[in-house]
Structure 1
Amino acid sequence: MRTLLVALPGLILAGIGLTHPHHLDASTAQWWQNMHIILAVIFPLLGAAQWVLLDESPKYVRYPGRVLAFGFVVFYGALDALAGIGGGAMTLANGGRSAADEPLFKIGNQLGTFGAWCFLAASVAIVVCALLKHRLKALPGTVFLLVGSYLFLDSHIYWPKGVIACTCIAVGLAAISYASASGRSTIEDSTRT
């Protein structure tokens, strides 16, 4: 169940990314705004998935990793609130883009970039701990998670790069969770005998 739950946010984001407009204008503003209201609920679940996978890490990794996951939730959420919801609302109100909405996008993108770097750093913490603990069993998940987290730095969820990033993140988180769960069951079986 945990494996499915940590994969679900990335898969939902990839699906929504297929509909993300590449440009904000009067014709896309309504969906742009509404989509980012939905995303404001889904993006924090990526940070929650990281939080869960950091549970088995040593404290000296777990606490900084969770601070980074929290940083992702806060700063990337600010991007969605400002450039997504706010930018869409201003475009709707003005009947199109205007110079007045540029500060929303500028600060939103700056905060979102910081949040994406927090996500990558938390992913690195997860990957290092997974490789040390589960070795080759964790390798596929770590590759997917690192590739997805790197692509996510500058792709948001736009098609195609952002959709690929979110799909890789989902597969990576799920594979690491699965490796961890199968590692635990092997240890539990050996202690019973």
Structure 2
Amino acid sequence: MRTPLVALPGLVLAAFGLSHPHYLGAETAQWWRDMHVILAVVFPLLGAAQWVLLDDSPKYVRYPARVLSFGFVVFYGALDALAGIGGGAMTLANGGRSPADEPLFKIGNQLGTVGAWCFFAASIAIAVCALLKHRLKAIPGAAFLLVGSFLFLDSHIYWPKGVIACTCIAVGMAAISFVSPRPVR
């Protein structure tokens, strides 16, 4: 049951990425805002999937990598709240974008960049641990996870690059989970 659960957040994000507007304007503001309200629940689940995949990692890797996953949830969540929900709400209220909105997007993007790098670093820890523990069986999952996490650094979930990134993340997480039996407690 763990394997489909760790893949689900990436797949849901990829699906939403298919309809994510490429620009925010009066005609896209309603969906932009509403979609990010929904995504405010989904993005943290991506960090939770990393947390789960770190279960069987050595403590000296698991704890710092989980701090990074938490950093992703916090900082990327701030991007989602500011530029996604707040930006969409302001654009909706103003009937379009305004120069007064720019500070909201600037700080949101800066925080999102920190979050994306946290996600990438935690993904590296997951991939390296899986490769060291499961050798050849972990190569496909590690490759998909690392490629997806790298693409995610500057793509958000926008089509096409972001959708590809989220799909690769989902496939990579599922493949790593599949070759890593759940640790016995």
What TM-score range do you get, normalising by the shorter chain? Answer: over 0.9
* 1:151 has 2:151 as partner: yes
- Of Structure 1 and Structure 2, the greater helix share is in 1
Q: What letter corresponds to residue 96 of structure 2 in structure 1?
A: G
* 1:17 has 2:20 as partner: no
1:100 is matched with: 100
1:116 is matched with: 116
Deviation at 1:52, TM superposition (A): 0.3
- 1:21-170 superposed matches below 5 A: 21-170=21-170
Q: What letter corresponds to residue 126 of structure 2 in structure 1?
A: I
Deviation at 1:91, TM superposition (A): 0.2
SS of 2:9's equivalent in the other structure is helix
> How many residues end up aligned between the 2 structures?
184
Instruction: Name the CA distance, whole Å, in 2 between partners of 1:147 and 1:39.
Output: 22
Unaligned runs of 5+ in 1: 186-193
Deviation at 1:124, TM superposition (A): 0.3
Larger radius of gyration: 1
Q: What letter corresponds to residue 52 of structure 1 in structure 2?
A: V
Q: Identity of paired residues, percent?
A: 83
Instruction: Name the CA distance, whole Å, in 2 between partners of 1:31 and 1:99.
Output: 21
SS of 1:170's equivalent in the other structure is helix
Q: What letter corresponds to residue 5 of structure 2 in structure 1?
A: L
- Listed one character per residue, the Cα deviations across residues 127-174 of structure 1 (whole Å, up to 9, x for unaligned) are 010000000000000000000000000000000000000000000000
4+ residue runs over 4 A deviation: none
TM-score of the pair, normalised by structure 1: 0.94
Deviation at 1:103, TM superposition (A): 0.4
Deviation at 1:181, TM superposition (A): 2.2
Instruction: Name the CA distance, whole Å, in 2 between partners of 1:175 and 1:147.
Output: 14
Unaligned runs of 5+ in 2: none
